[in-house]
A and B are shown apart, each in its own frame.
Chain A
């Protein structure tokens, strides 16, 4: 596996793409001055974000070297959080559940770190501050108590700037390029600042900064169904036990390893195809992330990859022609199976070589298509996706075979007759050509403008015509047409 070199050039390209995406997103929603200011600040933050998180965007890891996991809590400190579930406020309940979870996980696993960002807690709603969002506890080991103490002092009161907070959270993850990151948003309402949480989340995905945010909605009745679907995985909870269960579910997704199994399906939809090279690339930036040769394990099942579940992937299976599975996501913490139909059979081109003949090539095209798929050397086998192909074998004359079927796991053997040799001995200087006759029509396949000494030419077995005229005779009617036969592996002598 490779760690891709991190060039600034590539980074700049990504930056341009992201800016484009952002300006499109925001052109739509930019109506009020407030939004405009937010837009400007978002662009600035993205630029900063990109420089800050550059190396995270390139994160790769595998199972054998489990990465550090960082989980950022984005907690709603808006006024509505003071609302009560039973005896305690929603904010109180959130605080206690988060503390318990962080405390137990930190103790159990030193490779997990937590951070805390709170929004809507610094300014009262009347001040309408849409940048009221702050990283209160940065990532570090043993943060549980700090988080609890901090939340103890918070008085929920303000707006709900979710989009802005998501953007800002990109800077909260330390730039050491080694962690796998997740964001958990705890909120009881929707965006109140005209921001676009979807666009914010998309940037995190495109930069491969974090898993899609997990959103826990504490007031599902007031959150429109589907509102958070484009942001991440949404869970609506109405009771403390449900909240607790949801947190645990999210944790297992964020912390467990994610695996990917790619099934290359044969014609019967069984995962038997293998030994094909594959490329996984980033669906947003198109950058290549991994190259693999598909492998079956000893038990005959496709081998499993452990890859970063953040972001979206494109898969190219380098069969001939290639097969694609584009724009797919992995469910974090689970075993993901991606199936790609790649039924293959083989084409075997055989010719008995004669010594004078150079190696012969065969042009492969999909039936009735002008595009060349592959150039296969004669005397080799090559696998192709099941289907019909046109073959153009570059012998003399060329042999064209149309709609040659390739069937699942079968070898279609095309045997080309061994060429024969034409040996021409001229006694004078001639202009001469070799023709074949296809249904009464002459077709020139080779020509000598000045034939003055003995030459040999490899030709496929068959009937030929030699049309020739002495160069020095300035009369067309001195043209002669001679027929001759070429037999496989035999030299045919022609004296002019």
Chain B
């Protein structure tokens, strides 16, 4: 049971149905299809909380749209020993369509480009859905394919854009397989088009297979991920079968998030699965241990090569995961974690000005902030060393705080005191700390506020202040004061 990330879901949720069930649970359901609804209603009786359910994987239709190049350049010999690209490719495609015709839950469609107009006509909208998706339409597709004339140019981007509407508006595993021997010839950007389709969830996955294509074409279209070029008809045959096989196989995946001892005990963290080739996210899975305490089994689509991002702090990436179709695949990821506990201690109350105090957590020697942790909270991090910057006044910097596996590292600082400054008139100045003969400004007064409340760590401070009306420096005032933890003080000047 897999629910893909897509804005289609969002679109559909607007058409949400509210079902009032006998069990009294208010349930929101996405109205994807009648079939889906039926399934949901069915499952309702099995469990009270069903909106986590979507279609059973087995129930989903796999739709493969072949987008086929019928441009004039196909009327060349494929290689020394073979016939024309057009004839050879047509023959292999026919075989594939034959073999898919009896596979349950698989539908095939055919879109062709460059076949209606000649090269001199240079028609950049020369593309047509020759065979729409339907059950058992193999014979029809073959008949259409037989009539195709190879004559025109190569409007790939436009064809892909049109292909978006070729898929029925019901949930399915939509796959585009582009078969081409040349590059885009109409200034379109096939890469952007296909990525957008994947981003929006119109299609699950694009593939591109080169029909004896040149190196330039290969480079230009490699944005699909791998460009499966086939210099010979035999290779074309092989690649077509391999890709289609990946597209229609059932596969399972288990992700082991291993602790320091190598046991798969880490869990309850989101994992985003990306299409390795296009970088587009396809699934989110909250990692779960099943009742036996083992990582549960996820039905995963072998059509993808995956990059998995585990949303730990910092995230872990496991890239280039190829699943073996029809097998149970296990992926091991080292994810040993420990806890960081940041506390304020003392007699003061944790509220108001002290509440806004946060702690920046950076990976050791990394300048980017990894996380902003609030005080009196505990947070899980990958094992390792971290630099902390506590945004107290004055700031406290801690280098190389060690987070060890399954241990809690506690950082405790005294609760700050607060000082209320009442100024007789606005002016300039600030609060300083005096350490090792160096006077450092830690806070600059707001020169528009007559009253300021500032949280300070326990310690000794110096205020240097001068009213804004003063015309000599000798009117500068200095005042030393001390703040104790949790204490509230006020100063007038």
Does A105 have its Cβ within 8 Å of any Cβ on chain B?
no
Is the C-beta of A240 less than 8 angstroms from some C-beta in chain B?
no
- CB-CB nearest in chain B for A275: B428
Q: Within the assembled complex, what's the spacing in Å between the Cα atoms of A292 and B472?
A: 10
Q: Is the CB of A277 within 8 A of B464?
A: yes
Are A303 and B288 in touch, CB under 8 angstroms? Answer: no
Judging by beta carbons under 8 Å apart, are B476 and A291 in contact?
Answer: yes
Bound-state CA distance A41–B298 (Å) is 88
A276 touches B290 (CB 8 A): no
The verdict on A251 contacting chain B, using a C-beta distance below 8 Å, is no
Contacts of B28 in A (CB 8 A): 495
Asked if A375 contacts B284 (CB within 8 A), the reply is no
- Our pick among B25, B268, B309, B395 for the contact of A375 (Cβ within 8 Å) is B395
The residues in A between 306 and 332 inclusive whose CB is less than 8 angstroms from any CB of B are 316, 318, 320, 322
Q: Which residues from A are CB-within-8-Å of B280?
A: 440
Listed residue (A316, A468, A481, A482) with the most chain B CB atoms within 10 angstroms of its CB: A481
B286, A277: Cβ atoms closer than 8 Å = no
Q: Which of A202-210, A212-220, A264-272, A280-288 lies at the interface with chain B? A: A280-288
- Kindly report which residue of chain B lies nearest to residue A471, judged by CB atoms: B268
Q: Does B412 belong to the interface (CB within 8 Å)?
A: no
Taking CB as reference atom, which chain B residue is nearest A484? B10
B478 & A483 in contact (Cβ 8 Å cutoff): no
**Residues A298 and B471 in contact, CB atoms below 8 Å apart:** yes
Please, which residues of chain A bring their CB within 8 A of the CB of B1? 475, 477-478
> Which of B154-162, B219-227, B434-442 touches A?
B434-442
Query: Which residue of the partner chain, among A444, A465, A473, contacts B52 with CB atoms under 8 Å?
Result: A473
Q: Is B475 an interface residue (CB 8 A)?
A: yes
B391: which A residues are within 8 A, CB to CB?
Answer: 361, 363, 375
- Beyond A2-B478, A469-B286, whether A292 also contacts B52 by CB under 8 A is no
The smallest C-beta distance from A129 to any residue of chain B, in angstroms, reads 42
Enumerate chain A residues within 8 angstroms of B417, measured Cβ to Cβ: none
Q: Which residues of B contact A398 (CB under 8 A)?
A: 369, 372
- Distance (Å) between the CB of B416 and the closest chain A CB? 14
* Interface hit among B322-330, B342-350, B353-361: B353-361
Contacts of A275 in B (CB 8 A): 428, 447, 466, 468
Residues of A within 8 A of B356 (CB): 358-359, 361
Contact A303 B473, CB 8 Å, known A286-B437, A476-B298? yes
Asked, given contacts A474-B290, A481-B5, whether A442 binds B309 with beta carbons under 8 Å apart, the answer is yes
By size class, the interface of chain A is 35 or more
Asked whether B309 lies within 8 Å of A481 as measured between CB atoms, the reply is no
B296 within 8 A of A: yes
A363→B478 contact, CB < 8 A: no
Partner of B25, one of A62, A295, A427, A482: A427
Which of A277, A358, A437, A483 neighbours the largest number of chain B CB atoms within 10 Å of its CB?
A277
Q: Is the CB of A479 within 8 A of B395?
A: no
The interface residues of chain A lying within 8 Å CB-to-CB of B283 are 479
Check B287–A476 contact: CB distance below 8 A. Answer: yes
Interface size range on B against A: 35 or more
B283-308 contacts to A, CB under 8 A, are 283-291, 296, 298-299
Q: Which residues of B contact A374 (CB under 8 A)?
A: 444
Q: Do A295 and B473 touch across chains, with their CB atoms under 8 A apart?
A: yes
**Chain A proximity mask over B329-371: 1 for CB below 8 Å, otherwise 0:** 0000000000000000000000000011010100000010100
Separation of A473 and B271 alpha carbons in the complex (Å): 17
B103: Cβ under 8 A from any A Cβ: no
A476:B286 contact, CB within 8 angstroms: yes
List residues of chain B with CB within 8 A of the CB of A381: 448
A292/B476 in contact, CB under 8 A:
yes
**Known contacts being A398-B369, A476-B285, A476-B287, is A286 close to B428, with CB within 8 Å?**
no
Given contacts A427-B25, A477-B285, contact A295 B471 (CB under 8 A): yes
The reply to whether A433 and B270 contact each other, CB–CB distance below 8 Å, is: yes
> DSSP majority for the A interface?
strand
Within 8 A of A (CB), among B38-94: 49, 51-53
Q: Are A291 and B478 in contact (CB under 8 A)?
A: yes
Residue of A nearest to B254 (CB): A476
> What sequence of 0s and 1s flags, for each residue 410-438 of chain B, a beta carbon within 8 Å of any chain A beta carbon?
00000000000000000111101010011
B437 touches A437 (CB 8 A): no
A245 in the interface (beta carbon within 8 A): no
Q: Does A456 contact B (CB under 8 A)?
A: no
**Distance from A201 Cβ to chain B, minimum over Cβ atoms (Å):** 24
Supposing A287-B437, A288-B434, A433-B270 touch, asked if A474 and B471 sit within 8 A by C-beta, the answer is no
**Are B474 and A1 touching (Cβ within 8 A)?**
yes
B26 part of interface (Cβ distance < 8 Å): yes
Which residues of chain A are near B311, meaning CB under 8 Å? 433, 435, 442, 444
Question: A495 contacts which chain B residues (CB < 8 A)?
Answer: 28
Query: Closest approach, in angstroms, between the C-beta of A375 and any C-beta of chain B?
Result: 6
**Neighbouring B residues of A359 by C-beta, 8 Å:** 356
CA–CA, A351 and B9, complex, Å = 33
Q: A477 to B299, Cβ gap below 8 A?
A: yes
The reply to whether the CB of B465 lies closer than 8 angstroms to some CB of chain A is yes
Any A CB within 8 A of the CB of B281? yes
B389 at the interface (CB under 8 A from A): yes
Q: Is the CB of B428 within 8 A of A277?
A: yes
In the complex formed, the residue of A with least CB distance to B295 is: A476
Q: Which positions 264-288 of chain B face chain A at CB distance < 8 Å?
A: 268, 270-272, 274, 279-281, 283-288
| 23 examples of A-B residue contacts, CB within 8 angstroms | A279-B439, A286-B438, A291-B464, A292-B466, A293-B465, A295-B470, A318-B432, A375-B395, A382-B444, A394-B358, A398-B369, A435-B311, A441-B274, A443-B315, A465-B5, A473-B49, A473-B52, A475-B1, A475-B290, A476-B288, A479-B52, A480-B3, A481-B9
10 A-B pairs closest in CB distance = A370-B367, A293-B466, A469-B286, A286-B437, A478-B52, A476-B285, A275-B428, A442-B272, A444-B311, A318-B441
Q: Which residues of A contact B (CB under 8 A)?
A: 1-2, 62, 275-277, 279, 281, 285-288, 291-298, 303, 305, 316, 318, 320, 322, 358-359, 361, 363, 370, 372, 374-375, 380-382, 392, 394, 398, 427-428, 431, 433, 435, 437, 440-444, 449, 465, 467-470, 473-483, 495
Residues in chain B within 8 A of chain A (CB atoms)? 1-3, 5, 7, 9-10, 13, 25-26, 28, 49, 51-53, 199, 268, 270-272, 274, 279-281, 283-291, 296, 298-299, 309, 311, 315, 355-356, 358, 360, 367, 369, 372, 389, 391, 395, 427-430, 432, 434, 437-439, 441, 444, 446-448, 462, 464-466, 468, 470-476, 478
Known pairs A291-B439, A361-B391, A482-B9 / 8 extra A-B pairs, C-beta < 8 Å: A277-B429, A291-B464, A293-B427, A322-B441, A363-B369, A398-B372, A482-B10, A495-B28
